[in-house]
Chain A
């Protein structure tokens, strides 16, 4: 067997890379969704000071390249604050923040799409702000946001591939390793690409299924 040929162990490597990419994606998605929604709620209730901080922070995150943010966290934090971050930590911090910024934008417009009059009605019937959030705002905002969110998450999955540059052994990094060893870039990158494709399709499918369920009340059968 030649050094450059594929071995069955390569499948294990690919599976490992896939696992790392997926785990990072899931973790940063969950953190990003929670953070971004929290920021949107802060803005909805116009919480003094916090609203301004959130707005500026989201602006900065949205309008700078993820790669630059990643370098800032990975190289910048140790130099500036003497905080040592591992590549995985840097990846989690950066991707969560980035996802949160875009979730925030989507959540804000989703919340604003809800008629003020129903919120007033719920308040007049004695529901607390929290109950209004839970029973009136959240379900409708989710139905509104699920489409754009699915698009965002499919994109954020691709963005995870950037973290390979700081040494996280994700799917892209494994692709790199296999490519250097086998010298078959077309085969390797096609395979890696196909794996990302399948994951992206699964996310899109999950989003579409959820959307159908959340939007039962606006079921639009077409003209």
Chain B
């Protein structure tokens, strides 16, 4: 379980997360919605230990990400896919995927490489396994990014707007992979602007507004006229997103 309790984060005078509470249980797919600047990425960065919390606590399977000794364990259980891929440019697709399994999970290199190739095959990229990131399209890079996360066999996947840098066609490729992961029961926390997609794959939707988690509802209720939609802020947000 990922548990976020009373998390506060400020950059200088600006409070970006203002007392966030959120639980993500095994098997859940939680979508995080919210307008630009509401703190979604910052929340993800707090979960994977990239930002220091100003208050509160985040644990992943009871490992506290604020404690350096426990952070490594927490990170072994969760894996992140980034908006801008963040691949290692000097390594091929296979090497990108196999690095952490070899170095962190101590899987033998041969085995890790075979696993990486199998993962690439599963996302339709076996032909590009030995290409460098600079030789791949955006959609292909993001698929490598997803494989890199899956290679860690994580219990939790953290995904931050992983399709926002992709064109619609590539987006649907990547979303198809996520839909498959969701139906396989992968636990995901996933920040997105793809409202319709969030609606189809997530079990819960949370809505961030100015650093506060204002709604946390099962998906059906969130989109119901008398549920989340009854809140003007959310109705306004959704109608704006649908127009774009």
Contacts and interface: CB of A to CB of B under 8 A. Distances in A.
Contact of B80 (A115, A121, A127, A139): A121
Contacts of A216: 132
Contact of A136 (B48, B72, B88, B104): B88
Interface in B54-109: 72, 75-76, 79-80, 82, 84, 86-91, 99-100, 103-104
B49 interface: yes
Nearest to B83: A117
B152 interface: yes
Interface in A115-150: 115, 117-118, 120-128, 131, 135-136, 139-140, 143
A131 B90 contact: no
5 contacts: A125-B152, A127-B99, A131-B104, A143-B90, A217-B89
A218 interface: yes
Interface residues of A, number: 21
A127 B100 contact: yes
B50 A120 contact: yes
Given A120-B50, A135-B99, A217-B132, A126 B86 contact: no
Given A117-B82, A120-B50, A217-B134, A125 B100 contact: yes
B86 A118 contact: yes
Given A117-B84, A136-B88, A124 B104 contact: no
Nearest to B81: A121
Central interface residue in B79, B89, B90, by most chain A CB within 10 Å: B90
Contacts of A115: 86, 89
B9 interface: no
A27 B145 CA distance: 43
A140 B88 CA distance: 9
A131 B75 CA distance: 15
Contacts of A217: 89-91, 132, 134
Interface residues of B, number: 24
Contacts of A125: 75, 79-80, 99-100, 104, 148, 152
Contact of B88 (A122, A123, A126, A218): A122
B86 to A, nearest CB: 4
A137 to B, nearest CB: 10
B50 A123 contact: yes
A218 B132 CA distance: 9
B71 to A, nearest CB: 9
Interface string B112-131: 00000000000000000000
Contacts of A135: 88, 99, 103
A127 B100 CA distance: 7
A131 B106 CA distance: 13
Central interface residue in A124, A135, A139, by most chain B CB within 10 Å: A124
Please name the 6 residue pairs, one residue from A and one from B, whose CB atoms are nearest each other, closest first.
A125-B100, A121-B86, A126-B104, A126-B75, A217-B132, A117-B86
A122 B99 contact: yes
B90 A127 contact: no
A120 B41 CA distance: 14
Given A117-B84, A118-B87, A121-B80, A126 B100 contact: yes
B103 A131 contact: yes
Contacts of B48: 124
A217 B132 CA distance: 6
A46 to B, nearest CB: 15
Given A124-B50, A218-B134, A118 B88 contact: yes
Contacts of B50: 120, 123-124
B149 to A, nearest CB: 8
Interface string B151-176: 01000000000000000000000000
A139 B132 CA distance: 15
A139 B90 contact: yes
Interface in B32-59: 48-50
A139 B72 CA distance: 24
Contacts of A136: 88
A117 B165 CA distance: 15
